[in-house]
């Protein structure tokens, strides 16, 4: 699910550089690194503090000797489906129990998990455990994903994530099914998403067609609206945490609620949490609200459309400084074929002042989302109408052949002759 941080030093200690991205286009990392030390090209649309910059501003902002350094941003001392038979108050009681050191009541104890599920194959490894494709012993058709977490790795954060998921019932949020434990492992059972990560799709394709990208972002926005309406902030929206339910890549599922927080109305958050490339500037200042999710969606949209992130650097300090100054550009080479509406959508989310950003409702009403969504809807309707017409024509031909076969004899044609007629038709 990708690395998450409380500070970049923790990431580097784990051997994961916060400024390396495996989904950069070939050679793009090197090119971006060089470009970060140059004045922006005339054709490139550059933004500083979330606003289009003049040539003079570009020169100033690209002179590293004149830039304020935010070394404290990398300071190691910085703070770091629902269960059908469980009501919200029971989940809250479980959370209170876990905070008191008691075993959460929804986790079932088993002697042998294989008496309940058949494990088919390993499908992934994560920081906290291994994920297997499995199916219930009494239902061969229903695939599930089961994450095995060693008991010593099971944390309060994972408990909180499960308790949150148990109370979320949304079509685009990964569906929690159940949780078990034995003497060695915890077993977290969720629905299986066979389409893989958005991250992997970007890695494979380099970037994604604008119409398809808009369909993905529209679903992410609808999901975040649902969460925000329930006062839940995700805090880690990124391509690694967006899965596709099926291999056709039409339906997304938002996952990994380990950093999510159930808020009180108007509550302000302070912990510096998230994934470096997708952190909003106010997270670096350790005072933020739900608008950080909209910033992350802006970054994800940028990445999906061109294959690399808007903010980068030769090290964590430079990356965080660029984020803090909202210093990015739409490189002519990569963005010339992308609509102005898409660029406007991104630029209205990547604003330093969170109160000036599009709200989730405004983002859903943005022309880029509306126009592409309507185009996508019309395309689907045309395909459905075409399929319906094909089915109607097939049924008509079947009826014609049946009628003709019946009219040639006093009895209806035999099954063999009917099948022969159908074979001739195709």
Cβ count within 10 A of residue 319: 24
Q: Across the strands, what pairs with 190? A: 145, 176
Q: What is the DSSP string of 303-332?
A: HHHHSS-S---SSHHHHHHHHHTT-EEE-H
**Dist. CA 126–CA 42, nearest whole Å:** 43
Catalytic residue list contains 182: no
Is 41 labelled a binding residue? no
Report whether 61 contacts 67 (CB < 8 A): yes
Nearest alpha carbon to residue 7 among 394, 215, 273, 377: 273
- Alpha-carbon distances of 341 from 49, 295, 321, rounded to whole Å: 20, 17, 27
φ, ψ dihedrals at 117, nearest 5°: -125, 150
Helix axes 367-407, 210-229, angle to 10 degrees: 110
Q: Taken in order 312, 315, 317, 318, is the CA torsion positive or negative?
A: negative
* Given the residues 75, 229, 236, 334, the one annotated as active site: 236
The residues annotated as belonging to the active site are 236
Q: Which residues are annotated as a binding site for ATP?
A: 147
């Amino acid at each position: 699910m990708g690395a998450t941080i409380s500070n970049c030093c923790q990431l580097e200690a784990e051997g994961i550089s916060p400024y390396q991205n495996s989904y950069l286009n070939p050679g793009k990392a090197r090119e971006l690194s060089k470009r970060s030390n140059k004045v922006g090209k005339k054709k490139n649309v550059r933004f500083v503090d979330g606003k289009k910059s003049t040539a003079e501003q570009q020169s100033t902002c690209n002179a590293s000797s004149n830039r304020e350094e935010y070394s404290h941003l990398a300071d190691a001392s910085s703070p770091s489906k629902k269960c059908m038979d469980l009501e919200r108050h029971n989940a809250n009681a479980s959370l209170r129990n876990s905070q008191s050191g008691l075993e959460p009541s929804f986790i079932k104890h088993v002697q042998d998990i294989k008496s309940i599920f058949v494990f088919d194959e390993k499908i992934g490894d994560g920081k906290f455990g291994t994920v297997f494709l499995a199916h219930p012993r009494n239902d061969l058709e229903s695939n599930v994903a089961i994450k095995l977490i060693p008991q010593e790795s099971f944390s309060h954060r994972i408990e909180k994530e499960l308790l949150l998921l148990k109370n979320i019932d949304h079509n685009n949020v990964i569906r929690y099914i159940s949780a078990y434990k034995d003497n060695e492992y915890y077993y977290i059972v969720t629905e299986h998403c066979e389409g893989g990560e958005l991250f992997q799709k970007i890695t494979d394709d380099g970037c994604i067609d604008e119409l398809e990208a808009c369909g993905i972002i529209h679903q992410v926005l609808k999901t975040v609206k649902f969460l925000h309406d329930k006062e839940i902030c995700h805090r880690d929206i990124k391509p690694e945490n967006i899965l596709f339910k099926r291999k056709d890549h039409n339906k997304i599922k938002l996952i990994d609620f380990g950093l999510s927080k159930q808020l009180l109305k108007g509550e302000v958050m302070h912990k510096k949490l998230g994934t470096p490339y997708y952190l909003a500037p106010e997270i670096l200042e350790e005072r933020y609200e739900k608008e950080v999710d909209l910033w992350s969606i802006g970054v994800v949209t940028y990445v999906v459309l061109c294959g690399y992130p808007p903010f980068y650097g030769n090290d964590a300090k430079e990356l965080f400084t660029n984020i803090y100054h909202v210093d990015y550009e739409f490189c002519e080479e990569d963005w010339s074929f992308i609509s102005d509406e898409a660029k406007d959508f991104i630029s209205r989310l990547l604003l330093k002042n969170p109160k000036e950003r599009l709200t989730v409702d405004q983002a859903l009403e943005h022309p880029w989302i509306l126009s592409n969504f309507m185009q996508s809807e019309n395309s689907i309707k045309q395909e459905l109408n075409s399929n319906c017409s094909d089915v109607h024509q097939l049924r008509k031909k079947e009826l014609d052949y049946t009628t003709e076969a019946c009219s040639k004899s006093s009895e209806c044609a035999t099954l063999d002759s009917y099948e022969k007629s159908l074979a001739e038709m195709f």
